[in-house]
Amino acid sequence: MIAPTHARVTPAATLGIALAAGVALAGAAHAQNMQFVSQNQEGRAQNPPEMEAMAALEEAGFAVNRSEFQSLGIDLADALRLVSTGAFSMATIQVGSVARDDPFLEGIDLIGVSTNMDELETAVDAYREAFNERLAEKFGVTAVAIWPFGPQVFLCGEEMASLADLEGLKVRSFTASMSTLLENLGATPVTLSFPEVYPALQRGVASCGVTSPTSSNTGKWPEVTTHLYPLSVSGSIQAHMVSLDWLEGLPEDRRAAFEGIMAEMEAALWEVARTTNDTAQACSTGGDCPADGLYTSYDMELVPVTDADAAKVAEIASAEILPEWAEKCEAAYPGCTAIWNETVGAARGLTIE
């Protein structure tokens, strides 16, 4: 039985969902039947490009059975395992949230390394081959689209003029390296999935949160926060990951069609990240807001970013985040530091000693 959207699914229930989906997948008439679970919901800026891609797949002869994590009650952190086991053919995955299964994955978007979309795209392109080689080797999956939600910025329900004001506050985090940043700023990181953040901010479980302007606006965070500090610390990389067993079961021409549609969707999702976050931020902070129904107008205070804070994030990334990540990564995947230095590090002018 599928849990309702508001319910938290237990590990046993999650396994039951996975097994049921796996049976459905195994019993499919042919490999072009796709069991796909997504985190993109109606009302999100990222939803239209994905839905257009799903329509294109249907037109190309794929039978797409699309569901959403929220409606199934599945934790996003379990997504990689569900694709790895064949429970789903494909899933949209928040890379930072599944990095507990392998720290190497978070190397694509460590906090403080790529703080605008151009830097991030360069890093992703540099890491993509090594990223997919590791996914294939350890999990039997591959990322057919890698894209960002957009700049990850700070929203607080407390007075805020700089990062120094985070000291002593509980702040929502969703990756290990983000938690390291917050700890070094004197804050207490509170790990929360996106649906948990609004009530946490509302009830004072957290005073601040980190997410993109688009996600915060469509998620109604400005209803429970007052200050927006647009210092970007990462891009929140997502990926459409697909089972290699499923992908390699496609005829050559069908695989080419599938990968072509996914590449077009990836490009569209990057465009969303580049162009819609400024609009969402303006809507959240009393600026011009298009009356198209996607974003809601709010009157949050937009706090000017200081050069000192940008330098502080870069300093923490170099001195704390990169060495800490390398230590964890080497324990699970010896040699991964050298791989990072040769890929993301070379692209961003950074070296982990």
Mean pLDDT (whole number) for 24-32 = 46
If asked whether residues 174 and 296 sit together in one domain, one would say yes
Q: Which residue intervals of 140-243 are DSSP H helices?
A: 176-184, 194-203, 213-218
d(CA 348, CA 38): 31
Residue 343 has pLDDT above 70, yes or no: yes
Better-scored residue on pLDDT, 9 or 65: 65
**Cβ distance 144 to 267 under 8 Å?**
no
Better-scored residue on pLDDT, 17 or 82: 82
Q: What confidence tier does 24 reach under pLDDT thresholds 50, 70, 90?
A: very low
Query: Does any domain span residue 5?
Result: no
Q: What confidence tier does 94 reach under pLDDT thresholds 50, 70, 90?
A: very high
If asked whether residues 93 and 202 sit together in one domain, one would say no
If asked whether residues 26 and 131 sit together in one domain, one would say yes
If asked whether residues 127 and 183 sit together in one domain, one would say no
Query: Does any domain span residue 108?
Result: yes
pTM score = 0.88
Mean pLDDT (whole number) for 330-345 = 98
What is the signed CA dihedral for 72, 76, 77, 78, rounded to 10 degrees?
40
Per-residue pLDDT reduced to its tens digit, 278-317: 999 999 999 999 987 789 999 999 999 999 999 999 999 9
Query: Does any domain span residue 171?
Result: yes
If asked whether residues 110 and 132 sit together in one domain, one would say yes
If asked whether residues 119 and 46 sit together in one domain, one would say yes
Query: Does any domain span residue 347?
Result: no
Q: Which of 246, 277, 308 delimits the end of a domain? A: 277
What is the phi/psi pair of residue 118, to 5°? -65, -45
User: Could you tell me which residues come within 8 angstroms of residue 126 by beta carbon, excluding any fewer than 6 positions away?
Assistant: 343, 344, 346, 347
Q: Can you give the pLDDT at residue 292?
A: 76
Q: Give me the residues paired with residue 239 across strands.
A: 93, 146
- On average, the pLDDT of the chain sits at 90
Q: Can you give the pLDDT at residue 31?
A: 58
Mean pLDDT (whole number) for 133-141 = 98
Lowest mean pLDDT among 41-55, 142-156, 204-218, 330-344: 41-55
Query: Does any domain span residue 332?
Result: no
Better-scored residue on pLDDT, 77 or 22: 77
Stated as kind and residue range, the H or E segment containing 63 is strand 63-68
111's tokens: 């906090």
If asked whether residues 112 and 47 sit together in one domain, one would say yes
CATH assignment of the domain containing 37: 3.40.190.170
Task: Give the domain range for residue 66.
Answer: 11-148+236-277
Query: Does any domain span residue 330?
Result: no
If asked whether residues 138 and 266 sit together in one domain, one would say yes
If asked whether residues 129 and 184 sit together in one domain, one would say no
Query: Does any domain span residue 246?
Result: yes
Q: Can you give the pLDDT at residue 291?
A: 85
Lowest mean pLDDT among 14-23, 47-56, 108-117, 150-159: 14-23
If asked whether residues 230 and 240 sit together in one domain, one would say no
Q: Can you give the pLDDT at residue 76?
A: 84
Q: Can you give the pLDDT at residue 42?
A: 83
Q: What confidence tier does 116 reach under pLDDT thresholds 50, 70, 90?
A: very high
d(CA 157, CA 281): 16
If asked whether residues 74 and 183 sit together in one domain, one would say no
Residue 329 has pLDDT above 60, yes or no: yes
d(CA 353, CA 344): 14
Indicate the number of domains in the chain: 2
Query: Does any domain span residue 337?
Result: no
If asked whether residues 229 and 240 sit together in one domain, one would say no
Neighbours of 139 (CB within 10 A): 20
Amino acid at 295: Y
User: Angle, nearest 10°, between helix axes 322-332 and 176-184?
Assistant: 150
- N- to C-terminal Cα distance for the chain? 51
Amino acid at 72: L
